[in-house]
Amino acid sequence: MRWALVWILLGHVHTTFAEPRVWQDVGGRKVSAEIVRVEGDEVILERGGKTYAFEIARLSEGDQQFIEGWQERRAEQLKALRGAFDAFGLSHRAYAENAAYLAGEVFQNYLRRTPPEYREKMAAGLDYAIAEQTASLVVPSTYDESKPFGVYVEVPASDRLRVPNAAYRSVYQKHQLIYISPHGAGNSEVLSRRLGLALDALASVKATYHVDPNRCYIGGVSGGGITSTMVCFLRPEHFQGAINVARGALLEPYTMQKRVEVFGDRFYEKGATYPPFLPGLVTKHIALSRRYADKRWAFVSGEKDFNHEFTKASGAQWKKCGYTAKYVHVPGMGHTMAPPATWDAVLKWVGEG
């Protein structure tokens, strides 16, 4: 039987620990490929940028012995890949060219309605060296490559988030999610840099771990929340859902129903009208992005959060506009991260999309 007939195309390659080798089947046929992982009775090999599954029993005795030794070495390597990391080095860009980060029909329709100086800032925001970028990373102890894990990318509001505590790590483990939050992507940075680092963080996880591309989500708290909604809205092909905590993202102008103190002498004034979350947002943007009907959009807040009214209104607006959206109310919650029990429920709902 020819190799081309017995290999099964699987998709993109996971290459971090791939090892090149000339493989031979029981019939003496040979092929040069790299081992990626073992799944049950099959070995996953990479050739020409694609991965394939091949029955281990059909390989030569020497190849089968090599696989046994590789599995032992890989088990030791996996120990170093699990756990919490404060400075995981990003290794891969989502796109080779900066302009590609700003591509896509939805994104381009938005950018065409922004001032030239803003577009210049957006282009400059992507001028960074990937080798100099780091992230906070959590990989559950149950990860072993036998089953792909999902990914949750958190866009930070501050410059650098610490790794989640044990309560949240247990939630990510329950949902079989790898957590990553890029550094240097806080509220003071331009949208393009925050978007670029979020996509690069996802690309770096995919290059290092066995990831289910249909279980990748993005979210954040406060300024990170609205930015995560922007990223998923503008580049929806990368994520299956977005979780906006304590911020909201208006699709339509909204008039405040009451006066709310934000910080010090800053207030949201009753009767004041606030604009949509993207400057220049028009109905065409909404219609274009709604083509991604499989996405889920969660908005989380509580009555003690000064962004509560915006967050609740956002959930209602998105649902009215035809999105699969949900507002989650947390009694007593202020301007902070949702508690672990709520987070568990929100991840469950977003993952059902």
Residues of the chain with pLDDT under 50: 1-16
DSSP 259-316: -EE-STT-EEPTT-EE--SSTT--HHHHHHHTT-TT-EEEEEE-TTSTTHHHHHHHHH
pLDDT of residue 148: 94
Per-residue confidence (pLDDT) for residue 287, from 0 to 100: 80
Q: Helices in the chain by DSSP H: which ranges? A: 3-6, 61-81, 98-101, 105-111, 116-124, 166-174, 191-208, 223-234, 283-289, 308-320, 340-351
Helix (H/G/I), strand (E/B), else coil: 153: strand
Q: What is the model's pLDDT at position 291?
A: 76
Token pair for 269: 């004034």
pLDDT of 14: 39
pLDDT at residue 109, as a whole number? 85
Q: What pLDDT, on a 0 to 100 scale, did the predictor assign at position 89?
A: 96
What whole-number distance in Å separates Cα of residue 22 and Cα of residue 117?
54
User: Two tokens at 127?
Assistant: 């001028």
Domains identified in the chain and CATH numbers: 3-81 (2.30.30), 83-351 (3.40.50.1820)
Task: Give 62-94 pLDDT, tens digit per residue.
Answer: 999 999 999 999 888 888 889 999 999 999 999
Q: What is the pTM of this model?
A: 0.86
